[in-house]
């Protein structure tokens, strides 16, 4: 595919209201794409339009798209600008990336690391208020909509149109998740289907009678009941069968597969008091209290260490489970891989398309250089190297998702691509208070996992607290 792309085609791909005007000017009738509704905001977060379609078989590998981000930058060399991420692995990756960009372009990008969530959201707002924010800002989908609503982020459509940047091979759901009220504020630098993976010990599960191998696809048809059964057989002494998190993304992968959701599609109504949600919640209760195959929930519990030492047969994880605890920690002690969380009675996997986005600060004086850096981050060659090094999730564009090296070298990449392609939109309160909502879920449902409340009691006690957050004004 040519890297050249017309303004009209870009507008069509962006699904912007501007496409109607532009196409009408060309004499063509056009039906504007409806703007997606705003979504939740966790570690401030992403968008969620229509409910996702049922999972489909993995599409055939498309031809790799042109790599516009790799083109020589159109800006002058020697420009000083800042790039911000949260601390941790994102900061480590970004520091190396900044050095590469500087060496290639002659610019002087500087990386700054802000505290992790939930402090990250407040820090970005604070530096924006004092007009000292970084020119390029990392933003999880959980915060992005909140940032956009408060005027922190620049709209990207004018930049994309200005240099005819080719977005032909971007995953539509990925771009849609970076929008608020139909306007694009971020590029989908790293995406995954939520906490939709199960890190599994092949040796322990084989002994427990579950027929899985080191091929991640061997886990694709495992059911929730089989996880319980194998977990009970693997449970012995200080060896546990299964462990999971207590946050919204962890619960969603279970309850969603039963057809239950925390929120209505518009994010304005709590929907936890339904038969479907109750059944998913009951499975979570039973794993911890009826079958007792999970370790006692504790913030200090290191499930990665338990798994790496052979004391945990299965643990809920995500795309990152391929690298953490990883081959170095596990060594050759046992065979392992990462499979997808099961489909449930609803005939689907519980998912929520979760994205780490890259954005441009609305107050930057280096707009063009900041945009060149964002494109550099989204370049397939650059992005694939980051993912292969275990430094991130894949950018949501076909040239990355279907990259041959990722398919061959990352042990579970192929099954995760299937899940990413079928993932439902990001889910959050309409008022964008995802972070508050998520924290309340952890606080209110921990008693269920600890056996201090039944399913009925947990729902009854959590309802007014969660509804109170939903009823608050826009973030």
Cβ atoms 201, 227 nearer than 8 A: no
Query: Any idea which of 18-27, 36-45, 178-187, 341-350 has the lowest mean pLDDT?
Result: 18-27
Residue 25 has pLDDT above 70, yes or no: no
**Least-confidence region, from 58-62, 91-95, 432-436:** 58-62
Model confidence band, residue 391 (pLDDT cutoffs 50, 70, 90)? confident
Contact 47, 426 (CB under 8 A): yes
- Percentage of the chain modeled with pLDDT above 90: 81
pTM: 0.84
Residue 19 scores a pLDDT above 80 = no
The string of pLDDT tens digits covering residues 285-316 is: 999 999 999 999 999 999 999 999 999 999 99
- Rounded Cα distance, 27 and 10, in Å: 17
| Residue (of 158, 181, 189) closest to 47 by Cα position | 181
Q: What is the mean pLDDT of residues 180-187?
A: 97
Instruction: Please state, in angstroms and rounded to a whole number, the distance separating the CA atoms of residues 425 and 49.
Output: 6
32-37 average pLDDT score: 36
Q: Quick one: pLDDT at residue 77?
A: 86
CATH architecture type of domain 37-193+353-422: 3-Layer(aba) Sandwich (3.40)
Q: Provide the Cα torsion 153, 157, 163, 167; round to 10°.
A: 110
- Strand partners for 323: none
* pLDDT band, very low/low/confident/very high, at 6 (cuts 50, 70, 90): low
197 alpha carbon, distance to own chain's centre: 12
The residue count for the chain: 475
Residue pair 83/110 in contact by the 8 Å Cβ criterion:
yes
Q: Of the given ranges (61-75, 208-222, 248-262, 303-317), which has the lowest mean pLDDT?
A: 61-75
Q: What is the pLDDT of residue 175?
A: 96
pLDDT bin (cut points 50, 70, 90) of residue 89 is confident
Burial state string for 287-308 with b = 16 or more CB within 10 A and e = fewer than 16? bbeebbbbbebeeeeebbebbb
User: Can you give the pLDDT at residue 350?
Assistant: 97
The sign of the torsion formed by the CA atoms of 389, 390, 395, 398 equals positive
C-alpha distances out from residue 371 to 75, 160, 169, 186, 323, Å? 10, 9, 18, 11, 30
- Flag whether pLDDT at 28 surpasses 50: no
Residue 416, Cα to own-chain centre: how many angstroms? 12
CA dist 13 and 33 (Å) reads 10
Q: How much is the pLDDT for 46?
A: 38
Rounded distance between C-alpha atoms, residue 285 and residue 241, angstroms = 15
Q: Is the pLDDT of residue 355 over 60?
A: yes
Of residues 355, 359, 425, the one with CA closest to residue 393: 355
Condensed to tens digits (0 to 9), the pLDDT of residues 329-339 reads 999 999 999 99
Residue 255 in 3-state DSSP?
helix
Interval 312-325 mean pLDDT? 97
Q: Which residue has the tokens 């060149």?
A: 372
Top pLDDT among 19 and 426 is at: 426
> Distance (Å, rounded) from C-alpha 172 to C-alpha 46?
14
Report which of residues 44 and 225 the model is more confident about.
225
Class of the CATH-defined domain 197-340? alpha beta
- Which sequence spans correspond to the domains of the chain? 37-193+353-422, 197-340
- Rounded to the nearest angstrom, the gap between the alpha carbon of residue 445 and the centroid of all alpha carbons in its chain is 22
Confidence class for position 11, pLDDT limits 50, 70, 90: low
Separation of alpha carbons 318 and 325, rounded Å: 12
Sheet strand arrangement including 336-340: 314-317, 197-201, 336-340
Angle ∠(256,260,261) on CA atoms, nearest 5: 80
3 state SS of 113: strand
Indicate whether 122 pLDDT > 90: yes
Q: Are domains 37-193+353-422 and 197-340 of this chain identical in fold?
A: yes
Nearest to 84 by CA among 120, 44, 117, 40: 120
Cα 113 from Cα 258, distance rounded (Å) = 39
Scanning 106-156, the segments in alpha helix (DSSP H) are 119-129, 141-149
What pLDDT was estimated at residue 27?
34
Mean pLDDT across the chain, nearest whole number?
88
Bridge partners (DSSP) listed for residue 314: 200
pLDDT for position 266:
95
Do the beta carbons of residue 147 and residue 137 sit within 8 Å? yes
Query: pLDDT band for position 8 (50/70/90)?
Result: low
Residue 339, phi then psi, degrees to nearest 5? -110, 180
Q: Is-cis flag, bond preceding 148, omega within 30?
A: no
Distance in angstroms (rounded) separating the CA atoms of residues 282 and 276: 10
- Which tokens in the block code for residue 208? 């427990």
145: phi then psi, degrees, rounded to nearest 5: -70, -35
């Amino acid at each position: 595919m040519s890297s050249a792309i017309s303004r009209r085609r870009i507008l069509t791909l962006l699904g912007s209201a501007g496409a109607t005007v532009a196409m009408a000017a060309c004499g063509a009738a056009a039906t504007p794409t409806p703007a997606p509704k705003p979504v939740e905001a966790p570690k401030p977060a992403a968008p969620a339009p229509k409910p996702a379609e049922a999972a489909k078989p993995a599409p055939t590998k498309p031809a790799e798209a042109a790599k516009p981000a790799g083109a020589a930058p159109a800006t002058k060399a020697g420009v000083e600008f800042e790039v911000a991420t949260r601390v941790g692995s994102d900061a480590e990756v970004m520091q190396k990336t900044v050095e590469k960009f500087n060496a290639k372009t002659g610019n002087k990008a500087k990386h700054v690391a802000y505290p992790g969530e939930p402090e990250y959201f407040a820090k970005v707002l604070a530096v924006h208020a004092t007009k000292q924010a970084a020119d390029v800002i990392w933003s999880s989908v959980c915060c992005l909509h909140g940032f956009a609503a408060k005027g922190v982020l620049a709209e990207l459509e004018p930049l994309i149109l200005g240099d005819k940047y080719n977005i032909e091979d971007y995953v539509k759901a990925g771009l849609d998740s970076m929008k608020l009220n139909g306007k694009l504020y971020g590029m989908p630098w790293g995406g995954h289907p939520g906490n939709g993976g199960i890190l599994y010990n092949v040796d322990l599960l084989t002994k427990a009678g579950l027929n899985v191998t080191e091929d991640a696809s061997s886990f694709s048809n495992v059911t929730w009941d089989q996880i319980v059964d194998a977990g009970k057989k693997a449970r012995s002494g200080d060896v546990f069968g299964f462990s999971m998190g207590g946050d919204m993304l962890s619960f969603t992968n279970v309850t969603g597969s039963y057809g239950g959701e925390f929120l209505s599609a518009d994010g304005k109504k709590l929907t936890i008091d339904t038969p479907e949600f109750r059944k998913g919640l009951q499975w979570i209760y039973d794993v911890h209290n009826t079958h007792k195959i999970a370790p006692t929930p504790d913030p200090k519990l290191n499930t990665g260490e338990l798994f790496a030492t052979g004391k945990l047969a299965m643990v809920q994880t995500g795309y990152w489970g391929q690298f953490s605890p990883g081959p170095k920690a596990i060594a050759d002690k046992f065979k392992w891989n990462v499979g997808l969380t099961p489909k449930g009675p609803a005939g689907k996997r519980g998912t929520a398309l979760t994205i780490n986005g890259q954005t441009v600060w609305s107050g930057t004086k280096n707009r063009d250089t900041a945009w060149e850096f964002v494109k550099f981050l989204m370049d397939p060659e650059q992005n694939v190297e980051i993912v292969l090094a275990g430094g991130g999730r894949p950018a949501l564009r076909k040239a990355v998702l279907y990259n041959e090296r990722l398919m061959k070298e990352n042990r579970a990449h192929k099954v995760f691509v299937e899940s990413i392609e079928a993932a439902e939109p990001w889910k959050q309160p309409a008022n964008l208070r995802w972070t508050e909502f998520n924290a309340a879920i952890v606080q209110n449902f921990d008693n269920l996992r600890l056996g201090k409340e039944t399913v009925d009691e947990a729902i009854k006690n959590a309802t007014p607290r969660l509804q109170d957050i939903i009823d608050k004004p826009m973030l």
